[in-house]
């Protein structure tokens, strides 16, 4: 029972960055010009920085790819601080390649959203 609840909570929490990205893209879709490379949401796992705030490290790392702090802040979606060290951001394929080679970056993976197949969890697990 606890494992099932933990799994459901994990899936819901892991979908937050994608939901936030969809909301942000919907609000800026009309004002943003279409570029040759479409930016998609990626999760960037990094070494936990020593002696530096994680948010500052994330912005500094992204700034080295985007060219400015403002552009990095605009692309940044979420900071992971507790269960993992990293952040999610909107990145083009070129930016993913460049960011993957930066010191302290462990892995850059596309963000995924998982859908539950049933709204009736009690019936699926025979809890009623």
* pLDDT tens track for 84-117: 899 999 999 999 999 999 999 999 999 988 777 7
Read off the pLDDT of each residue in 37-49 and give the average, rounded to a whole number: 90
Residue 34 lies in a domain: no
Residue 23 lies in a domain: yes
Relative to beta strand 76-80, strand 105-110 is: unpaired
Residue 103 lies in a domain: yes
Residue 33 lies in a domain: no
Which CATH number fits the domain that encloses residue 118? 3.30.70.80
- Do 55 and 115 touch, CB atoms closer than 8 A? no
Instruction: With a cut of 50, say whether residue 27 has pLDDT above it.
Output: no
Residue 87 lies in a domain: yes
Residue 82 lies in a domain: yes
**Pick from 81, 87, 77, 96: which is nearest to 43 by CA?**
87
Considering the entire predicted model, what is its pTM?
0.61
* pLDDT tens track for 52-92: 888 999 999 999 999 999 999 999 999 998 888 999 999 99
Residue 68 lies in a domain: yes
- Number of domains into which the chain is organized: 1
CA dihedral over 26, 32, 34, 37, signed as positive or negative: negative
Structural domain containing residue 74 = 2-28+39-124
In angstroms, the CA 7 to CA 10 distance is 5
- Do 76 and 87 touch, CB atoms closer than 8 A? yes
Q: How far is CA 110 from the centre of its chain?
A: 8
């Amino acid at each position: 029972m606890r494992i099932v609840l933990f799994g459901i909570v994990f899936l819901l929490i892991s979908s937050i960055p994608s939901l936030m990205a969809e909301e942000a893209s919907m609000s800026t879709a009309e004002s943003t010009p279409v570029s040759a490379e479409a930016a998609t949401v990626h999760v960037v796992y990094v070494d936990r920085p020593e002696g530096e705030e994680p948010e500052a490290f994330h912005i500094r790392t992204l700034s080295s790819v985007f060219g400015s702090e403002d552009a990095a802040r605009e692309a940044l979606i979420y900071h992971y601080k507790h269960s993992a060290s990293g952040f999610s951001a909107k990145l083009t394929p070129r930016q993913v390649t460049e960011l993957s080679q930066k010191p302290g970056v462990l892995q850059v993976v596309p963000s995924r959203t998982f859908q539950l197949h049933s709204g009736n969890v009690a019936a699926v697990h025979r809890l009623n």
